[in-house]
Chain A
Amino acid sequence: MPIASRSDRIAEFKRRVVELVPDGECIIGDAPALSSYGADGLIRFRQTPEVVVLAKSTDEVRAVVSLCAELDVPFVGRGSGTGLSGGAVPPAQGVVIAASAMKGIVEIDPVDRIAVVEPGVANLVVSERAAPFGLYYAPDPSSQSVCSIGGNVAENSGGAHCLKYGFTTNHVLAIEVVLPDGSVEVLGGESPFEPGLDLRSSFVGSEGTLGIVTKVWLRLMSRPEAVRTLVADFNSVESAGAAVSAIIAAGIVPAAIEMMDALAIEACEKAVGAGYSLDAAAALIVEVDGSQEEVDALYEELKTACFTCGTTKIREAADQAERSRIWLGRKAAFAAAGRLAPAYIVQDGVVPRTALSSILGRIEELANQAGLRVANVFHAGDGNLHPLVLYNPDSAQESEAAEKLATEIVELCVEIGGSITGEHGVGLEKACSMAAMFDDGDLEAMQRLRVAFDSQGISNPGKVFPTPRLCGDAPGRYRAHALELSGEAVRF
């Protein structure tokens, strides 16, 4: 363990890092640029890093992480910085290792249907490059035109089509990673089944706490033969929720079921002009895919389910252009909320699908109590809610009320048997809410796994796990473990 002070070690780091990055770039003295790496897609949290490294290769990442380990300097890996839980906010007096310049597609193997990519490549670029072979990469986060595959791996990102096709973890065959001690390992393999403990699965979704991804082997899929997409309008959120249950109960597994309430419809329509009905109280976007025969049969059943639940209008996408338009509207939802209010919090929670109709009423009650507006968009098929809490940041009181409301909503999800996050991750934002879901034993088990990868606690510290610094002495949230009290273990 080095004994020099943190600032001495940072100074030494700055002196030595430049020569470790011959092809990439080190941002050290440029204060404005360093400041611009202070936040990710969740701008409420901010911490300016000491150094940003724009690495060009696994070797450069390895060298920089090794130096971090040697000098005990904390670091965070960063992709495109679109995350919504503050997961890429740099640790205090820490280093950002950005993969944005590692954006090459190493190989597309259309026979084995594998894409080998660098971590900085944008999700959508993989599908674009696979398209000439009739293939695509299935997970489709709303930010897919921007967000990086490395970031997707760290967050185990989902998307509208995860209902049928699964999350990132179901589409990552193997990953090359730089572990926090500077060693390079490949976890997983090209074959779908690997003997032994599945370390790949531990790493996917670990939010940067186990190391940095430097290469990814992705599973590609055939484009389905046929796709049909509809937008169904409803007079109430309850009837739209009932339609979701009816569709699933009918045995249909749509590629996606998305739901929007009136406020969300208004925002998306303003941003994109997707042709949504502004007079609907709620709308579902439902997509079925597969063989032509199967799709046509499912589509009829789908319409029946919607009509049974009182849909007021069904619009089917006539062609690919209209389908893209419909999805563009939905995928722009978060950013489009900027048109309704100067600031908003995107919340991410999960409830049992059957509770969809009722939770929206409860959210509305909470919003009314707080005197705030909440727009709702969600992946209804898997019960993943995205309430958007709108507020005015100029008012300190309103900002505080918004944060409180966002937390209340997510804790309400837990209360009715759901979860604090469906796909955005825990990051910085929800670290304190982890205690609402897991008891000390659970958290300790996770911490042991984490320490097995990162004994120094330098890889994205302060994320995922509740810490006293972060969560203060809020009652019921954080209690020091007996081992901590005795000094035998530490939390990072």
Chain B
Amino acid sequence: MSVGATGPERKLIDTCVHCGFCLPACPTYQLSSNEAESPRGRIDLMRRYSDGAIGLDADFVAHIDSCLGCMACVKACPSGVDYETLIVEARSMIQASFQRPSRQRLVRKAIFAVMPYPARMRPLARLGSLSKRLGVERIAKGRASGGLAATLASALALLPRAANSAVPARNRLYTASAPRRGAVGLLTGCVSSVLFGSTEQAAIDVLRAEGFDVLVPGGQGCCGALAEHAGEAPLAARLAGALVARLGREQVDAWITTSAGCGSTLKSYERLLPGNSAAREFSGRVRDVHEFLYQQGLRADYKPIGMRVAYHPACHLANAQGIVDEPLALLRAIPGCEVVLPGQSGTCCGSAGIYNLVEPATAQALGKAKAASIAELHADVVATGNPGCLLQIARYSDPGLASAHPVELLARSLRASTA
């Protein structure tokens, strides 16, 4: 039986006392004002389903689907409810027991047939960027009325106009360029490795300059985060198992990820692979790149780059992993770098894994609001530690606004000439 196919445990549901403190934190409740679109409302649906008072129908599924999984509610909850497990297990139950309409099934099938596999994603992304330059996007948009066409239109809109630079070579050990402090491995992931080669390169440059050997193993697949967050537990478990089997024997002090969404799943493989000791050991060594650099302390020579940076705290960094101050501290360590936060900075940008592909209306409302609050800051660049957020914010922002992972700004500062 797959993980969580029977739905969340009743005991976990009952930790929610229905106080409502999560309501102001929840982006979908703030947009809809609808109780069923709130964390306590969704937990109440799980409770009512477990009581047999309501069935697993399309309405139920829609309210669970609409959750961004941003975990802002977890931070707001005084009762310590484990909402992440609740929503993941409710989604697994839906995937296992609910027959989605054929159109939805097709869309999800297409997404999970492509996104977790860089070898399939890469040529499609290239084609996508090319077609975007040729103006196909407008045609797709015109025809989009739900289903696969709409998803394709959303995906196209998110793609950068040019696929992002070359990917650093795999199966290589990039040796430290400063007095050696240790060895780390770089987790390359799926979407990130196709669209954000420059982020990987920057992470390698910064880690080397900080005195770390950086191992970049080839043949890494997706970590399973996208699938887990969407309730595709069996697929997520398969991908996680493969990654652990591939990397488990490598001797590194820490596994570094540059993606917040991946990090939150990579750190909790026990949920996907219960009782797997190699997975637990692997998870114990996973660090987000901000977290790792901050813990180790910066020693390299960061040269001034005058720049006003708008920082967007990715939900899976700030809420799911509690990494709040570290990215700010790293950015502020760059001389001449002024860091500013948008209003309502804790609200999700609407990216949320595959959310902006399957729930485009809510994703758009949140994306526009986020872009508007960032635009007010008149920054030179918007920085955020999650590939999905980078795509989402760029999509709704003025094309003149640059975007980057914070580690890219650190790398740029390393390269800058001394003024």
Contact = CB atoms under 8 A, between A and B. Distances in A.
Contacts of A147: 20
A358 interface: no
Contacts of B21: 143, 145-146, 332, 335
A379 to B, nearest CB: 18
Interface stretch (B52-60, B152-160, B174-182, B238-246): B52-60
Interface in B13-53: 14-21, 23-24, 33-36, 41, 44-45, 48, 53
Contacts of B60: 32
A342 B16 CA distance: 9
B66 to A, nearest CB: 11
A32 B33 contact: no
Contacts of B81: 338
Contacts of A82: 19-20
B17 A146 contact: no
A334 interface: yes
Contact of A35 (B17, B34, B53): B53
B20 to A, nearest CB: 4
B77 interface: yes
Contacts of B77: 335
B59 A338 contact: no
Contacts of B143: none
A33 B20 contact: no
A31 B59 contact: yes
B395 interface: no
Given A43-B17, A43-B18, A122-B24, A36 B79 contact: no
B17 A101 contact: no
Residue from B20, B44, B57 having most chain A Cβ neighbours under 10 A:
B20
A132 to B, nearest CB: 13
Interface string A14-44: 0000000000010101111101110111010
Contact of B78 (A25, A81, A271): A271
A201 to B, nearest CB: 28
A41 B20 contact: yes
Given A36-B44, A103-B33, A342 B80 contact: no
A336 interface: yes
B183 to A, nearest CB: 35
B122 interface: no
Contacts of A27: 34, 36
A33 B79 contact: no
B14 A146 contact: no
Interface string A71-110: 0000000001110000000000000001011010000000
B63 interface: yes
B78 A343 contact: no
Contact of A146 (B20, B55, B80): B20
A42 to B, nearest CB: 8
B109 interface: no
B299 interface: no
Given A33-B35, A146-B20, A344-B17, 12 more contacts: A32-B57, A32-B63, A33-B36, A36-B48, A81-B20, A122-B24, A145-B24, A146-B21, A146-B23, A334-B78, A335-B77, A335-B79
Interface of A: 25, 27, 29-33, 35-37, 39-41, 43, 52, 54, 80-82, 98, 100-101, 103, 120, 122, 143, 145-147, 270-272, 332, 334-339, 342-344, 393
13 contacts: A30-B36, A32-B54, A35-B44, A54-B33, A80-B23, A143-B20, A332-B21, A332-B78, A334-B17, A335-B79, A338-B16, A338-B78, A338-B80
- Give 8 nearest A-B pairs by CB, closest first: A338-B79, A335-B78, A33-B36, A101-B33, A332-B78, A100-B33, A335-B19, A36-B41
